[in-house]
Amino acid sequence: MNLRLNSEFGTLKAVLMHRPGKEIDRLTPYNKELLLFEDVPYLEAMQKEHDVFTNLIKETTGATVYRLNELLIQTLTDRDILEKLMFQALQLNNLTHYKDQILDRLSTAECAIALTAGIKVHELKRKIPNLSTNELMDYAFIIPPSPNLYFQRDPMAITPGGIIFSSMKMEGRQREANILKAIFENHPDFKSQVNQLFPLNGQSTPPNIEGGDIIILSKKAVAIGNSERTDAKAIYQVAKALLAEGTVERVYEVHLPERRNYMHLDTVFTILDENLVLTYPDALNSVLQTSLYTLKEIQEDKVHIKRQVLQESLLTVLEREIPHLEILHTADGNPDYSMREQWFDGANVFAIGPRRVISYNRNKHTNNALRNMGVEVLEIPSSELSRGLGGPRCMTMPISRSKI
């Protein structure tokens, strides 16, 4: 499997997903903000919706669906990797002194649950009755849960030139990226195919970048959102690595306004075919500053790139990169419906092939507009999945697509 993608819409062959688990049940009205979540979903209904999504992908594309939990357990059979991930997870609360006791008493599968769903003091005491936890209350988390883990798009990105492993803005989400990095660097299905573009070798605290900000515009161009979650410095480093690798010729840095509905670039627009983009009304025109990175020269292993500030909207950039561009607005531009459907990520559909998308059933006006453009829209139930405020694209990490 060649871990490179040259489009956002080539027919899907393999995808990584995470079925929501116990980490969602850890959410309460009192801790949800702390755990970077917006609501308290009903787990069993959420799992049913996610199962419909997973089965729909398999039935309509025949793609392999990799499950994060299975890959994680398989990866954790290597004791060194298990120790490293457990240390990183405990480090967040300065509780690394519990590492050896946890590893001695928990099975590999239990460790995988602890790394995704977290573990509380009283749960650990059941396993280790003589555990000394004087400094902690019984219901405190020794390892906090990762309820955002079902959004698999954020912790990494696969580009035409290789893989970007995210450096998450929110410290509480870094474990998601650490888990994916450990899997891809060590699992026999992937490790020989990884060409890591970011972080750079030896970077202990890389600047922030998240997968939802990275969109493949064409075989030769990638756009990266400069957002509340992705820094200019990280974009520069990724642009340098991508341009030096040689497949990509242009990297665009897209400056997003600091507003909730512009959290990542993929909440602003998604590409559904070689000439079709879905966005919400006026979003492309309201992004007014874009910078273009190109390769200047490579001299004795030193890479020099050129940055050019383009005083033009994102729409103009897309029109130049995508010939005969057609733009569809969420809810076909109706301001009331568009605002409502954008809240539930109307523009964040998942392309499983050219003009074939999976969308939330609640975004019915957007779905009808897509069908009127000749797009095949497959709907999934979304009462609970949508509560995390991320769409079908956010929940999927495409690993392999047909080349365009």
The residue type found at 342 is: Q
Q: Is 394 a catalytic residue?
A: yes
Tokens of 355: 């003009």
Tell me the C-alpha distance between 305 and 91, whole Å.
37
- The number of angstroms, rounded, from the C-alpha of 54 to the middle of its chain's C-alpha atoms is 17
Tell me the C-alpha distance between 230 and 208, whole Å.
5
Containing 123, the helix (H) or strand (E) segment is: helix 121-127
Which is catalytic among the residues 394, 395, 397, 399? 394
The residue type found at 43 is: L
Tell me the C-alpha distance between 179 and 163, whole Å.
15
Dihedral class, residue 131 (left if φ above 0, else alpha if ψ from -120 to 50, else beta): beta
Max Cα distance, the chain (Å): 69
- Determine contact, residues 357/379, Cβ cutoff 8 Å: no
The residue type found at 218 is: S
**Alpha carbon distances (Å) from 89 to 92, 121, 205:** 6, 15, 16
Helix (DSSP H) and strand (DSSP E) numbers for the chain: 13, 19
Would you please indicate which residues are annotated as catalytic (active-site) residues? 394
